[in-house]
Amino acid sequence: MRSALQGKTAIITGASSGIGKATALLMAREKMNLVLAARRAGELNEVRRETEARGSRVLACPADVTDAEQVQALVEKAVSLFGRVDIVVCSAGQLLRRPAVDLTIGDFRHIMEVNFYGSLNLIYAALPGMLERRSGHIIVVSSVDGKKGLPPDTAYVASKCAVNGFMDVLRQELRGTGVHACTILPGRVDTPMVKGIRFPLGSRGIPGDRVARSIVRAIRKRRTEVVVPYIGPKTLIVANSFSPRLGDWLVRLFKLEGVEEGSDMSHNDIGV
Ligand SMILES: NC(=O)c1ccc[n+]([C@@H]2O[C@H](COP(=O)([O-])OP(=O)(O)OC[C@H]3O[C@@H](n4cnc5c(N)ncnc54)[C@H](OP(=O)(O)O)[C@@H]3O)[C@@H](O)[C@H]2O)c1
């Protein structure tokens, strides 16, 4: 039976690795047209081969999401090859794990450029066409960290809070336009981004393809916000909204921030 997504066109940033790559592979099974973007051409071409082998028509476009012109060109190429852009998945992102006192304003600007403005660059390039056709899906892979921050990630958390706030309002403003906006809030995901960080047993990473499945389901069901995995992160978000002190305590109790490999997990500098 033909899937509702078959033949639709999606642009995926961060497609060379982790969640973006897993999403590309899953969408290829649906025989979607894919435009894959990330900076590393070699990795991107490998994903192109794998997705083509699954039956998709694929364009691999090395691009830096911080460069608005390169991102605009992605949309133009997608339209000239496939006719339209139905879905954008903004998954490109970087983690900067360093305490606030050791960060410069430049560090914050860099992370905001990638994680916040990088998503906006794609959304603003694709949105006019979607609004004109009164149809489309905007998916941003944000993070649970944008609902409850963990040390030592101030810059990363600030960028995810920014993107969550943007999406929260955009979704409401797009109501009735035929364009849907959904924020994906992963907890811990086992990808190269968190390689070298050990997390406690209850906070071990889920595979990237589990997030990919949530993304595809969110498109099909027009979800607004998806927390994945659900129970642990959702409990933390609810506890924190009730009392930030309780949220902080849970972070310390379960050592949710993890430790760099080689450090002693039984020791917590902050102390529960
Ligand atoms: N892993 C987790 O635990 C976790 C949890 C919550 C949320 N997330 C979010 O999930 C998203 C995907 O992360 P991931 O876990 O899949 O990490 P990942 O495996 O490190 O993938 C990050 C992707 O972003 C791309 N990228 C980074 N900077 C870029 C830039 N300036 N321009 C274009 N592409 C860029 C990378 O490709 P190139 O290096 O080739 O450019 C790569 O494809 C991120 O937004 C991250 O914040 C991850």
Residue 246 lies in a domain: no
Residue 267 lies in a domain: no
In this prediction, residues 24-38 reach a mean pLDDT of 98
Residue 72 lies in a domain: yes
In this prediction, residues 14-30 reach a mean pLDDT of 98
Measure the CA–CA gap between 117 and 257, rounded to whole angstroms: 25
Per-residue model confidence (pLDDT) at position 260: 87
- Index of the ligand 1 atom closest to the CA of residue 40: 40
Residues of the domain holding 119: 9-230
Per-residue model confidence (pLDDT) at position 204: 83
Question: Is pLDDT at 262 greater than 80 in this prediction?
Answer: no
Which residue reads 């393809």 in tokens? Answer: 209
Distance from the alpha carbon of residue 89 to the mean position of ligand 1, in angstroms: 12
- Index of the ligand 1 atom closest to the CA of residue 189: 3
Identify the band that residue 1 occupies on the pLDDT scale cut at 50, 70 and 90: low
The number of distinct structural domains making up the chain is 1
> Minimal CA–CA distance to 238: which of 150, 165, 147?
147
Express each pLDDT in 34-87 by its tens digit.
999 999 999 999 999 999 999 999 999 999 999 999 999 999 999 999 999 999
Identify the band that residue 150 occupies on the pLDDT scale cut at 50, 70 and 90: very high
122 Cβ closer than 6 Å to some ligand 1 atom: no
179 Cβ closer than 6 Å to some ligand 1 atom: no
54 Cβ closer than 6 Å to some ligand 1 atom: no
Express each pLDDT in 188-228 by its tens digit.
999 999 999 998 877 789 999 999 999 999 999 999 999 99
40 Cβ closer than 6 Å to some ligand 1 atom: yes
Per-residue model confidence (pLDDT) at position 261: 84
In this prediction, residues 5-28 reach a mean pLDDT of 98
Residue 226 lies in a domain: yes
Residue 13 lies in a domain: yes
Question: Is pLDDT at 151 greater than 70 in this prediction?
Answer: yes
Measure the CA–CA gap between 98 and 101, rounded to whole angstroms: 8
19 Cβ closer than 6 Å to some ligand 1 atom: yes
- Index of the ligand 1 atom closest to the CA of residue 205: 3
Atom 19 of ligand 1: nearest residue by CA position: 18
Question: Is pLDDT at 267 greater than 80 in this prediction?
Answer: no
Per-residue model confidence (pLDDT) at position 268: 36
Identify the band that residue 259 occupies on the pLDDT scale cut at 50, 70 and 90: confident
- Index of the ligand 1 atom closest to the CA of residue 16: 43
Say if residue 152 is preceded by a cis peptide, omega within 30 of 0. Answer: yes
Residue 3 lies in a domain: no
Measure the CA–CA gap between 38 and 16, rounded to whole angstroms: 6
Residue type (1 letter), 264? D
Residue 140 pairs in a beta bridge with 90, 183
Residue 271 lies in a domain: no
Helical spans, DSSP H, in the chain: 18-29, 41-53, 68-82, 105-112, 118-133, 154-173, 208-221, 231-242, 244-253
Q: Which residue from 166, 193, 199 has its CB within 8 A of the most atoms of ligand 1, so it is best to mutate?
A: 193
Identify the band that residue 3 occupies on the pLDDT scale cut at 50, 70 and 90: confident
Active site residues: 156
183 Cβ closer than 6 Å to some ligand 1 atom: no
The CATH number that applies at residue 219 is 3.40.50.720
Residue 240 lies in a domain: no
> Minimal CA–CA distance to 208: which of 226, 189, 228?
189
Atom 35 of ligand 1: nearest residue by CA position: 92
Check residues 145 and 203 and name the one with the higher pLDDT: 145
In this prediction, residues 238-246 reach a mean pLDDT of 98
Please count the other Cβ atoms lying within 10 Å of the Cβ belonging to residue 253.
11
Express each pLDDT in 91-143 by its tens digit.
999 999 999 999 999 999 999 999 999 999 999 999 999 999 999 999 999 99
